[in-house]
Amino acid sequence: MAKIGDKAFTVTFIEDSDYTQDDDVTKGVKITTKETIEIEGNIINKFYTTRVVIVKKFNNKKLRADVNNGNSLGPIKCVSEKSISVKISSI
């Protein structure tokens, strides 16, 4: 999703796409978009993510049913923000 940057897109289909490494399973989703987006020379309209906030949002049963039944979501943007580091030091 970070590679999409601030490009707006419309979600037309959502499905589960978990990531498995050895015995560890990380929940994920595959998002199909109306728009095609060029990333590193490839034109794509399907994106996979395991980002917790996005997965949680798209696991909402009503939202997923609405989108998958033809009620697209968007245009939307995924805003990427760096987390704030807090340094704690003793006095």
pLDDT tens for residues 25-62? 999 999 999 999 888 899 999 999 998 888 999 999 99
Domain count, the chain: 1
Tell whether 25 is covered by a domain: yes
Q: Is the pLDDT of residue 91 over 50?
A: no
Structure tokens at 11: 């979600």
Tell whether 88 is covered by a domain: no
Bridge partners for 39 per DSSP? 42
Residue 29 has a pLDDT of 95
Tell whether 66 is covered by a domain: yes
Tell whether 81 is covered by a domain: no
Question: For residue 88, what pLDDT band results from cuts at 50, 70 and 90?
Answer: low
Which residue range forms the structural domain that includes residue 11?
2-76
Q: Are 14 and 68 in contact (CB under 8 A)?
A: yes
Tell whether 87 is covered by a domain: no
pTM here?
0.78
In one-letter notation, the amino acid at residue 77 is: K
Tell whether 86 is covered by a domain: no
Tell whether 16 is covered by a domain: yes
Distance (Å, whole) CA 55 – CA 59: 6
Residue 33 has a pLDDT of 93
